[in-house]
Amino acid sequence: MLRYILLALGLIVLSLLIWRSGPANIYEAAIRLGPTALLAILIPSVIMYCVEAYGWHVVLGRAAQRVSFWRLLTIRTAGEVVNMTTPAYLAGEPLKAYLLKKYDVSLAEGAASVVIAKTTMTIAEVFYILIGIALTFWILGTGSSAGQTITAALLSVGLLVCSIVGFVLIQQRGLFASILSVVKRLGVRIRFLEAQEEQLHSIDQTIRNFYRHHQKAFYVSIGVYFVGWLAESVEVFGIIYMLGGSVSVWSAFAIGALAVFIKGGSSFIPGSVGAQDAGNLLLLQAFGYSDLTGITFALLRRFRELVWIAIGLLCLAVVGKHGIDQAQRTEGLS
């Protein structure tokens, strides 16, 4: 129920932002771009999806030989559409592990790769945001109106860094074993966890083996994901440039990184509706852009997300059909 209330409030906020800037003005600014520019805006996100799929491929280990890169990209895109449309941005992760089973990847290998890939992606994201915050201080100065907001963001990222370090340490000790231990100590019985205890311990062992024997792959995956995050800044540069604004590479980097931080901070709202858009508007205002440029920028990024939601649903249908066909072939052989 709460998620629907947050979604409704977000839609109200988004509607007010559009009304304040003038729907006709926003339409004119967007229509001047033309279809070619709209397609060009999608290029950085295509690069980002491909690069991030490769970052996952790196940590998949020997199981990567059983699933091609393009199938992995399809599975990741299908999982991301669930992440994009649900709160907390995590619901699509178990789906990715489940879909890997259709390509003869064990649940232990698949789930472990999903956990590790999410970890390396988040570490790369934190580096990206930290560099963006440093650039923002350099560009705007500590005495600007955005200084307090940036300081608060820096403190938040510091807490996130501590959380990630703790999360990695827990993985090395046994992530799911730790969860089971806490649940038992609280005296709570969750039948699903109890029934899957052996499988969960197997996932833990796979994760521990990765950290012990594949440290190079861990760092390579972080580097690959960082390149993927850089595509966010390329998109920022392209949108502002096409809207007729003056933008430097450093400003685009800073805006892209802080926009990622804003989206992550509002992930408890389905699709970050309203909060992400208001945050992007305020962010561009801080960098000296007009309200019209800010809201048009936010809506163009929404346009990109809607395109990827449509692509993700198509990918989900494709991998689902593959699973049905595979099951029918299995039945035919038995």
Q: Which residues contact 141 (CB under 8 A, 6 or more apart)?
A: 147
Question: How does pLDDT run across 226-267, given as a tens digit for each residue?
Answer: 999 999 999 999 999 998 889 999 999 999 999 998 888 777
For the chain, the domains span 42-323
User: Which pLDDT score is estimated for 312?
Assistant: 92
| Strand spans (E) along the chain | none
Question: How does pLDDT run across 142-160, given as a tens digit for each residue?
Answer: 665 555 666 666 677 777 7
CA distance linking residue 266 with residue 262, whole number of Å: 6
Evaluate whether 99 touches 79 at the Cβ level (below 8 Å). yes
User: Which pLDDT score is estimated for 272?
Assistant: 81
Reduced to 3 states (helix: H, G, I; strand: E, B; else coil), residue 208 is helix
Reduced to 3 states (helix: H, G, I; strand: E, B; else coil), residue 269 is coil
User: Which pLDDT score is estimated for 164?
Assistant: 83
Contacts of 134-141 with CB under 8 Å at 24 or more apart are: 135/250, 135/251, 135/253, 135/254, 135/257, 136/254, 136/258, 138/250, 139/250, 139/251, 139/254, 139/287, 140/286, 140/287
pLDDT at 30 over 60: yes
CA distance linking residue 115 with residue 94, whole number of Å: 9
What is the largest distance, in Å, between two alpha-carbon atoms of the chain?
73
Q: Which residues contact 87 (CB under 8 A, 6 or more apart)?
A: 3, 6, 267, 268, 269, 270
- Alpha helix ranges (H) inside the chain: 2-21, 23-31, 34-59, 69-84, 92-100, 107-140, 147-173, 175-185, 191-195, 197-213, 215-242, 249-265, 275-286, 291-333
Question: How does pLDDT run across 127-139, given as a tens digit for each residue?
Answer: 999 899 889 888 8
Question: How does pLDDT run across 35-64, given as a tens digit for each residue?
Answer: 888 888 999 999 999 999 999 999 998 888
**What is the DSSP secondary structure assignment for residue 236, as one 8-state letter?**
H
Structure tokens at 24: 């006709």
